[in-house]
Structure 1
Amino acid sequence: MAWVYLIIGGMAEVVWAFGLKFSNGFTNIPVVIPTVITLIFSFWMFSKSLKYLPISTAYAVFTGIGSFGTALFGMLFLGDAVNLIKIILLVVLISCIIGLKLVPDKTKKGEKI
């Protein structure tokens, strides 16, 4: 369940990042209010995941999901630049996130890192 919390929190990070873009420096109150609510929800979900996951993995995945999702939606819907290098780097980023999920959270007793 911790991974579900983490993924939902990361996806909510994408939403509040776009809210910040459209808040016009926190002057557009109808956008600011749901943005702040989504920001709080995002960190709440992240904090729930930290009860079960190591912070090193959880934070990297949380911010990675937010970075990947924000970049992807920016390119698809906001006219952000799209080029081969950016696509390759996003694929590397998501590959690293998946890799962190696949690494065991704990080492066996007596095993050296």
Structure 2
Amino acid sequence: MSDAPASPPGGGGGGDGGGFGGVREQDRFLHIANISSIMKKAILANDKIAKDAKETLREASDKCQREKLKTINIDELLWAMATLGFQEHIEPLKVYLQKYREVHAHLAMWDFFI
């Protein structure tokens, strides 16, 4: 009988140890392996993802978790990049994003006419 757990998985006995509604601390954050798996779906089979890119996404994910946000958006990614010391990349990314949005807004306008 000593093999039975004292409480259900996830700390449902009220003592979650962190005040996160019964969710274990190790389950609250995306692990690097999970982040890599998600990111690899967006690139070509032979491409590699830098460790810094994974860490940036994890940092942004952690911020969203703390702020109870469900979606990681550009603001969280830019914040994470600044936090991790990549300030020199932020302004070029903002310029690229603005141009990307302009092009796609223009293309979306043409979809209206088709």
Q: TM-score, normalised by structure 2?
A: 0.30
Q: Which has the larger radius of gyration?
A: 2
Q: Larger RCO: Structure 1 or Structure 2 (Cα < 8 Å, ≥ 6 residues apart)? A: 1
Structure whose residues are more often helix by fraction: 1
Q: TM-score, normalised by structure 1?
A: 0.31
